[in-house]
Structure 1
Amino acid sequence: MYASLDQAGNQWKLTYTRELRQSPDEVWCALVEPRSLAVWFPTAIEGEREEGAKIRFVFPMGDAFGAEEAAMLGEILHFDPPALLEYTWASENLRYLLEPTGTGGTTLTFSFTFDDVGTAARDATGWHVCLDLLAEHLSGALDAAPERKKMIEEQWRPLFAHYAENLGPDSSTQGGPPGADLS
């Protein structure tokens, strides 16, 4: 359930594996449809959903992560429904591999590749919370912004402490997002 951290050339990669009860088609929809992304993903994603498409990540004003109104650019590298979605987010890379289970569910393997190991604990915590939000959304238990904000606030501090301790001292030189209570 927790992320592993590995060096990937000159970058670092966090990898998570989650077992979800929903089918790959259902999980895929939650990864690409704007209404679902609004519940679990930290930004809106604008642009076509196809391989090679340029996309734009837009942080809403007042987001629970503390981001200011801003946009970042990316590109969809792989778009193979409902098995593989991969895209860049500035210099970072997000990859979702969906594999059907024998019970009708999905094994989701998510990896996040980034440059600065000092952000590993922060990023691991953020993506961990996002994947928890995704699972809650898929189960039908989460679909509103106030519930999302509460879940983030409750999970952030203990998860950050876990990742800072388990990923090593170099992983937490960059703290949490503005406004996150890490004390």
Structure 2
Amino acid sequence: MSNLQVESLKTGGVIKFDMMDGSFINIDILECQLNSVLEFTWGKDRVRFEIHKEENGSLLLLKEYIHELTDHTPKDIAGWHICLDLFSAVLEGEEKEFSKDEWQQWFEIYKDKVIEVRG
């Protein structure tokens, strides 16, 4: 993704996230195991990608450990949803750009779900 710049791909390393408004956020890498695990901070939350070998391929697992449900939570979840779609496209040999319209559709769905969970 063009808005991510890996400064140091290792446990204790840093990823820079370009907010596309002239500002950057440093993301701390909490765990990095080559070809199997990448876990990093995401604000007060944590995000973890794991790759597991399967009989006929691999399984990509995404976990977000959410500290607190906020109004921003559905934005993040919609973003991860689109990222997973982009990963799938790459695996199918397609090149796809981040779609703000698709993101907006998923944001509305996840916003309603977060409201439902928060009560």
Q: How far apart, in 1, do the equivalents of 2:117 and 2:47 lie?
A: 22
Cα distance, 1:59 vs structure 2:
1.1
Describe the SS at the equivalent of 2:97.
helix
Q: Is the 8 A contact 1:56 1:74 kept in 2?
A: yes
Closer, same or farther in 2 for the Cα pair 1:106/1:47, shift >3 Å? Answer: same
Q: Is the 8 A contact 1:99 1:106 kept in 2?
A: yes
Amino acid at match of 2:11: E
Aligned to 1:47: 7
Cα distance, 1:155 vs structure 2:
1.4
TM-score normalized by the length of structure 2: 0.79
| Number of residues of Structure 1 aligned to a counterpart in Structure 2 | 117
Cα distance, 1:162 vs structure 2:
2.0
Tell me, which stretches of 5 or more residues in structure 2 are unaligned?
none
Residue in structure 2 matching 1:148, options 89, 97, 107:
97
Aligned to 1:157: 104
Find out whether 1:112 has 2:64 as its counterpart.
yes
Residue in structure 2 matching 1:92, options 45, 58, 64:
45
Aligned to 1:131: 84
Amino acid at match of 1:155: E
Task: Spell out structure 1 runs of 4+ moving beyond 6 A.
Answer: none
CA shift digits 1:2-50 (9 cap, x unpaired): xxxxxxxxxxxxxxxxxxxxxxxxxxxxxxxxxxx33xxxx22231111
Tell me, which stretches of 5 or more residues in structure 1 are unaligned?
1-36, 62-67, 172-183
Cα distance, 1:169 vs structure 2:
4.3
Q: How far apart, in 2, do the equivalents of 1:167 and 1:89 lie?
A: 18
Closer, same or farther in 2 for the Cα pair 1:56/1:80, shift >3 Å? Answer: closer
Q: How far apart, in 1, do the equivalents of 2:9 and 2:110 lie?
A: 32
Q: How far apart, in 1, do the equivalents of 2:82 and 2:52 lie?
A: 21
Q: Is the 8 A contact 1:77 1:87 kept in 2?
A: yes
Q: How far apart, in 2, do the equivalents of 1:79 and 1:59 lie?
A: 21
Cα distance, 1:116 vs structure 2:
4.2
CA shift digits 1:116-154 (9 cap, x unpaired): 412222211111011111211222201xxxx414xx134
Amino acid at match of 1:129: I
Q: Is the 8 A contact 1:58 1:72 kept in 2?
A: yes
Closer, same or farther in 2 for the Cα pair 1:90/1:154, shift >3 Å? Answer: closer
Which of the pair has the greater relative contact order for Cα pairs under 8 Å at 6+ separation? 1
% identity of equivalent residues: 21
Describe the SS at the equivalent of 2:82.
helix
